[in-house]
């Protein structure tokens, strides 16, 4: 019997488990990072006022997400905070590529490679929203290529 994998193994399993991290409800997920990148002082003030009135409301939750991401900036600047948040997110999401099968399509191998590279902080690169866009594009191409591998004619659809 083969040794079991801690984070999943194969092709479809690895892709599916990574996909879960795209919408993970935690604070360091792709959508929270994108939201933080759009965050400005006026929105922060408006959110703070609404959160004070409704401590359990949407604004309070949004303020908490932005606070968690912004806390890491601590004088380093927003770009640095975004980069660190991307590293934190990649750290969890990349685990599912450790046992990716060699038969995986090229785009999925590239996705795994970049995620593992980002995740372990061995780089001095500054990760940006363009990095997230590239990851999202590789993910989409990977899904389509896996379908083609399986002999299915994929159609991404409109929604």
| Structure confidence by residue, pLDDT tens digits, 98-143 | 999 999 999 999 999 999 999 976 678 899 999 999 999 999 999 9
131/143 Cα distance (integer angstroms): 18
Rounded to whole angstroms, the Cα distance separating 159 from 65 reads 26
pTM of the model: 0.81
- Residue 96 three-state SS: helix
Query: 58, 77 in Cβ contact below 8 A?
Result: no
CA-to-CA dists, residue 134 to 40, 55, 129, 147, angstroms: 24, 36, 9, 20
Domain residue limits, the chain: 9-149
Question: How large is the angle between the packed helices 129-149 and 78-93, nearest 10 degrees?
Answer: 30
| Range with the poorest average pLDDT among 82-86, 108-112, 142-146 | 82-86
């Amino acid at each position: 019997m083969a040794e079991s994998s801690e984070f999943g193994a194969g092709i479809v399993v690895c892709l599916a488990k990574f996909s879960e991290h795209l919408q993970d409800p935690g604070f360091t997920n792709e959508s929270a990072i994108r939201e933080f990148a759009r965050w400005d002082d006026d929105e922060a003030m408006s959110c703070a006022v609404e959160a004070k009135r409704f401590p359990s409301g949407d604004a309070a939750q949004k303020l908490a997400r932005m606070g968690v991401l912004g806390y890491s900036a601590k004088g380093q600047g927003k770009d640095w905070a975004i980069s660190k948040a991307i590293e934190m997110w990649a750290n969890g999401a990349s685990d599912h590529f450790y046992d990716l099968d060699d038969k995986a399509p090229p785009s999925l191998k590239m996705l795994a490679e970049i995620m593992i590279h980002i995740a372990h902080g061995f780089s001095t690169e500054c990760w940006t929203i363009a990095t997230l866009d590239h990851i999202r594009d590789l993910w989409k191409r990977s899904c389509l290529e896996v379908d083609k591998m399986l002999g299915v004619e994929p159609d991404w659809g409109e929604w």
